[in-house]
Structure formats: C-alpha cells, structure tokens
Structure 1
C-alpha cells in the first residue's frame, strides 16, 4: 500500500512573497517569510524566518498572528531578531509556542518590515498546527476490478499521533470519505471503518481535518483490468463549412464486457482536429446510456477529425477517424449594383460590386464570378456572363442580351480557402427601347405669326425596329435666352409612329419632343430643333 505524501507530513514549511502596500515607500525588497512547525515535537514551537534587503537598512521586524484566516483578528504579536547578515541584507527570526487547543489547524502570520526612512513592507505566511493522523491496516477486497465488477469493500483504522514520544491512538467516531460515494462512514471507538466503493478508481480512503487533527488519506492497492473498446464516429454536417459553423459528429462506444459487446455509457469524448503538436482538442461530452453520442462544436480550422475516448479508468482508450473537416472563410459581396434598371431589351446589363472574406471583408482578388439569370428568382438559374475580381476585390460583369423581366445574381464557386457564395437576386424590369427620329420644326426661318409645324416619328426596338403607334409624345418649347422648357402640347402617334402639331410662330427658340415611356417601353431620346422667327 502506497501512502500519499500530501496527507502525512511531520513538519510544515510555508513561504510567502512580499506584499508592499500602494501607499508605502518600497525601500525593503526581496521580503520573504517562512513558518516552520515540527508537528511531532512536544514543545510545538513554530519558527518564523524572514529575509529582506534594504538600501537604508531594516530597523524593525514584527509579526501579528491571525486565526482562522488572514481577515481574522490578531491574537498575538512577536518581535524578530536578526540572526544573520546585515540590516541591509539579512535574516531575522522569531519563535512562538503555539496553542493547539485554542487555535487548531490553519494560522496566519503577517510580518511587517520597517526601514530606516520609515518605509514599510508586509508579507504573509501560514502554518498548520494539528496532530498527525494516518490511516492504517488498509485492506481492499477484491484487489482487481473491472467495468462489470467494480465494487470494492475497504477496511482500515484512523489513528492520531500527538508527539514522537507518544504512541498512535485511535480516532473514534470520525467521518471517513471513500471515493465511490461512500460519504459519512463513521469510524468506530477503535478508529476502525468499513465502506464500499462502487464504480470508482482509484479507490481511496480519506479523513478531512477536524478539530486539532490533521487531514489524512491513502490510496488502496486495487488495480483495474481494463476492457477493450470499439468506437465509431462520423461527421453529419455537410462539408465544406464556414468558420464558426456548428458541426455535428455522432457515433457510439462499445466495450467488450463479460456478456459480450455492450454499451459504454458516461465516457468523456474529445474531438482532435489535425495531428501532432498543432492539433486542437475540443471536449465533446459523455456517451449516453446506450453508448451513443451526438456532439457539436464550432469549426475554426480544417484538418482530419479524430474522436478519442480516453481517461476512463475501466476501459482501454479508443480513437477513430470521423472525416475530414473542411473549414473555409465565409465570403460576402458588398456594394452590388445592376445597371441599367430597367434594362433595355436586347442589350447587356452591367453588374458591379466587391467580393471579400469575413471577418473584415478582406479583398479576394482574381476570383472567377458568374452572372446568372432566372425568370422567377427561384429556379432555372442559367449562366449569362462571367468575369474575375480585381486585386482589390472589385468586379464588373457584362451579361448577355436581356430580353425578359427576371432576376439576376452573382455566384462565386469558392476555393480551398474561401466558401462559395451566391449573391442576393436583383429583380430587373426589361423594357423595349424607343427613339424619335426625323424631328423637325419648319419652316425655318419663319415669319412671326405664321404657322410652324413640329413633327417626328417614334420607333420601338423589339427584335427589330418598328414604328411606335398610339404613344403620347410631349412637345416643349424654350425661348431664346431662357433656361426653362414649357410644355406646348401632348400628341398621339399614328400607326406609322408619326406625330405632328402646328403652332403660331411668336419668338425665336428651341423645340423638343420626348416620349416618357411606360411599363413596357423605355423613354425615348429628346431631339431638339432651333427655329428663327422673323
């Protein structure tokens, strides 16, 4: 049986670094305080040793003792004497007889160092004044356990020794803590105890510090016959994924038990991304009662994904490949514009914007892009133009001839570093183009008061150039020297697209015709003709 050295110690030595209050002048440096107590010595004297340096010299060292914490009231003070070195670099010491009946276990010492110029520095140390306890005659049955047979019955005795000259004696009615959930087991009058540990390893027996007694603990000699395991795992999230995407992995852990292959519940799992020193470990949580698991984690790096089942004391470690994690930076299209809108029938459109990667919209240069069209914006998307981004991520794509209303978008196929992206569709209304030809105001010049005829012909551009019948054409006049256009008439075009109107000539100026368009046709050009009236 192996003892825990942390539980059984004959002397305590605690060192504390100096703490200098903000308001004090820090003349004293390298201030350290130790408290040494031989707990088996009959006189129970704690030796306090302080070392310090000071350019001006240390003039006084005192200490106050506090219980049961640093915030507890001081119950005594001691003065130190220099035992080595000089006032500028020396060692000071004090001895104090402890009172275990009044101040058992944790005691705190606050030393105050004063230097020649009045500066002070303080530091803390701790000593544990208690009687040595131990667990003896420890027996565990059985000595070998496994996942199917994990119950262990533990017997032992709790003993206390108050000095080297005194023999150990039982600690009656003490609470013994046994790993495996056996809490509250009481030692008998002779210090003996018995408890059962269930499903835990290592199996230990321990006693918490109580009254004047120190804490004690011991590990039993029980060993485990580990069972082999079988682990399956796979990612269920489609790859690739953008950085930060929630990735799901699921699988099952089984063990080779006494009854064959059975579930292994409650085993902690870890996802390992990558390999070697750069691998990243991500906790996945425990397996369910049937050995299955479905776990999630945020993807932040690419690489092979391995699921590991380890650290279970009753099972052999297991690991299995769960797939290749393909993590890429998310992308975004900003400042997207589509012109003209409405578009002109049979003419290309221009799509511009900027392609970047998140976070920060870092420019993605030389990236191939495709312009796509769909009549309803949901299905039937077809490529209708392509191009590449410039080094600053900017792009301008020219589409094919637009011949019907519909939706346009930009698609980026992505690459090994960046996620694919489909831009938000933009609705484009395509209308037939129009123009006014043969516009003329005549005669020129014309006598004042005589008749002036203004006429022209409206055309529409479908799959070929055709007259524009039944359309409203607006006629405007701007007198010489004026900057204002005045509407003079609205006329309808004939079946041939011709329109005309007569006016009485009154002053010099410019005539203009304009067709303002409709839901089917774009507005026309605005031809003008200057007339000299004499």
Structure 2
C-alpha cells in the first residue's frame, strides 16, 4: 500500500515539474555576417594572421544592424587565442600572432574561427564554418652531448645541445621555447625546454639499458607544424657498480693444508641507488704481503648473489675476492687475514682429586698433541693453567706446565675454593692456538 502511494506521489511531482514553463531567452539573436582571415598560409617568420569580420543582428526593418562594443574571441582550433572589440558598425579587424613554442603550438595547420559569448542584449554566436590555415614548415636540426660519459647506471648526467631552425636566407638561428625529449632505447626518460638562444640542458640519471642508444628529439609530429622533426642520437653503453658484502675467510686460524672457505655476496647498484643480487663471478685471491695478489679460484654465485669458494690453505696471508664481469664494473671485497698452522689439541685434561678438601694438593694434568700428518705427542711446549672461581666471569692465570716427550703435562696447586680449571696452548707461527676443556672441582 505504502509503495503504491509513493509511486503516485512521485508521478505527481514529475507532472507538476513538467508543467512549469522554462525561462525563455528574450535576448535578440546575433550572427557573423562577414568573416575572413588573411593570409591563410603562415610560417615561423610570418606567424601573424588578421581576423576580419562583422557581428550583426536583424533590425526592425529587416536589415543587418552592427553590434557595437561587443567583445569577440578570435579562435584557433577551438581555443581563444586573442580578443577584439567591434566598432560602432559591428566590424572588427585584428592581427593575431600565433605562438610556435611548446609541444602543441598555436602555429600549426588548423581552423580559424570567431566567437561572441553574448551580452545582456544579444545571444551568443559563432562563425558557422572556420577558415583553414596552413603552416609551411622550416627545416630544424638539433645536437646532443653530455657533461660526462653516461657510463655508470644511476649516475646523474646532464644532456645538452642546441636546437636551430633555418632562416629564409639559408642561415640558422636558435629556436626558443621548444620541448626536447631524451630517450634511451626508445623509452623517454626526461624532457626540457630550449632557452632563448635555442640551447637546452636536461638533468637526468643514467638508466639501465640493453642497447645503450641515447637520443633527443623535438616531439612535434611533423607535417602541418612549424618545424620539421629534429633528432640526434648516439650509443653509450652503461655498466652497474658492484660491491661485495659480508666477506669472510674461515676457519681462523686454519690448519695448514686444510680447506679454507671464503663466503660473501655480490650485489650491484640499480638506477635508483638500491642494490640487487648480481651474477658476476667472484675470483678468490691470496696475498702474502697484502700487495701482490694471485687468483686462485672462481665460481658462479647463486641467484641471490651468495658465493662460497674453497681452497687449501698453505701459508699465513691475506684473502679477498674480486669481481669483473661486463657489463658490470669490477669491485673488490674487504681483506681478511688468516693464520695458517698445524692443528693442536689438549686431551685427557683432568683436575683431581675431586671433590677435595680445602688446603689439600690438587693436580691439573693433560696431554698436548699436534696434527702434522697425523696426531702425535707435542713435547717441550709450555701450557698455561687458568682458574675461574665459582660464579666468576673471568679467568686467572695460575701457572705454566711443560710437556714431556709424550706430550703429558701436569701442575700441582693448593685447593682453595670451588671452580673450574683449564689449560691453554698459546700456539706459534707454525702451530695453532688451542684451549682445552674445563674441569670443575668441588672444594670442601
């Protein structure tokens, strides 16, 4: 019921609205009885056309009467490019200079028209049929250069040059206010505008490119525009900067002849300054003095740029990796110094007796071994004994023991408090340092 009532009310409102009369335009109609443009053929040296015409209305006697003091818009391709005012007889004649600057210049093939927007007494009107204007092109040329060779992706670079056009006497002059666009491999990366003398300077950054073809051009489409299309190009291949991050050679120290593994990640810098994994081959290099380097081994990183290179360690020295894989620029990692020596070990370490009464004699003993071609006793070496009391965070040196022909060492101390004992062999230029296991003793 309510839905039906709503429909009836809506229909009534629509009917009532339809019965309200629209406000009639009581202003007198106007029209252009005359309209011409001269000349209709233009160029950059002659960019001015004169719009002439008459705006009238029909008088009471049926004759054309001029509309005085009316503001008339002089159109080019539907855009008002100038205005003028009619005289006492409704006539007007006004020169219009069409601009040749920008990507959409007024000076191009198109139609000239006139438009009256109306006033308190006259209705608006326009020329029913526009007059065709033709623009004769002049020859244009452009040059291109760089403030430095755009050889590195992401680097700032300034593209500059000169846009000129031919004069009637065959000379050349700079063209002001023209858009110049910069392209790399057909993709537009920047644009700018020529100065009063025709020069341009456009700042951009070197993009990633497959072919490396740089070009500049004026974007005017050609026929019917004031200048011919001007373009210039050159070939400039750009490379990525690379870097090696997280480089490490391990283990440190390493046993002579054992495998040393160098790890890290190869990255390259993109056009926006961020980094991404690179596929450049890292070459593992070694130097005994940090000056003269020898290539040892290379391999391909994985898809995330991580690498792991292994080689036998023969002597103390410096390790690094270097990448050099066009089109990326070479880079070198940080340097890691690694000591190389024979492994050592402390076995059978024991502090006894345990538990032990306070003040009693405590013996700390063990065996020092070395690994040259096989594990053997390491005689005649000094082994330092350290003690850390229960709850302590640091170790205290207690004494030194000498190894026997069997590598055995021992030292006797007076038991004073609960704690842990351990032994350390300091190593040498030939043998690697080793810290033995700890042994806790309960003193009662």
* TM-score when normalising by structure 1: 0.53
**Residues 421, 58 of structure 1: CA spacing in aligned structure 2 closer, same or farther, 3 A cutoff?**
farther
Paired residue for 2:231? 319
Paired residue for 2:49? 152
Paired residue for 1:389? 301
> Aligned partners of 1:357 and 1:287: how far apart in 2?
33
Paired residue for 2:95? 196
Choose the corresponding residue for 1:489, options 354, 379, 398.
398
**Residues 188, 488 of structure 1: CA spacing in aligned structure 2 closer, same or farther, 3 A cutoff?**
closer
Matched, 1:293 2:200: yes
Q: Give the strand-richer structure, 1 or 2.
A: 1
Q: Which has the higher contact order (CA 8 A, sep 6+)?
A: 2
> Aligned partners of 2:292 and 2:227: how far apart in 1?
56
Choose the corresponding residue for 1:226, options 137, 157, 160.
137
5+ residue gaps, structure 1, are 1-24, 26-55, 65-76, 81-94, 105-129, 462-466, 479-484
The alignment yields a C-alpha RMSD, in angstroms, of: 5.8
Displacement, 1:490? 3.2
Paired residue for 2:35? 137
> Aligned partners of 2:421 and 2:64: how far apart in 1?
124
Matched, 1:60 2:11: yes
**Residues 468, 208 of structure 1: CA spacing in aligned structure 2 closer, same or farther, 3 A cutoff?**
farther
> Aligned partners of 2:334 and 2:217: how far apart in 1?
48
> Aligned partners of 1:374 and 1:204: how far apart in 2?
81
> Aligned partners of 2:57 and 2:314: how far apart in 1?
97
Choose the corresponding residue for 1:185, options 64, 73, 84.
84
Equivalence map 1:289-368=2 (5 Å):
289-297=196-204, 299=207, 302-303=210-211, 304-311=213-220, 313-323=225-235, 336-340=246-250, 342-344=252-254, 348-353=260-265, 368=281
> Aligned partners of 1:57 and 1:505: how far apart in 2?
114
**Residues 352, 132 of structure 1: CA spacing in aligned structure 2 closer, same or farther, 3 A cutoff?**
same
Contact 1:341-1:428 at 8 Å conserved across structures? no
> Aligned partners of 1:468 and 1:161: how far apart in 2?
131
Contact 1:234-1:321 at 8 Å conserved across structures? no
Matched, 1:238 2:238: no
> Aligned partners of 1:170 and 1:375: how far apart in 2?
103
**Residues 372, 214 of structure 1: CA spacing in aligned structure 2 closer, same or farther, 3 A cutoff?**
farther
Paired residue for 2:24? 99
Paired residue for 2:191? 284
5+ residue gaps, structure 2, are 100-106, 373-377, 389-393, 440-444
Choose the corresponding residue for 1:78, options 4, 17, 33.
17
**Residues 517, 147 of structure 1: CA spacing in aligned structure 2 closer, same or farther, 3 A cutoff?**
farther
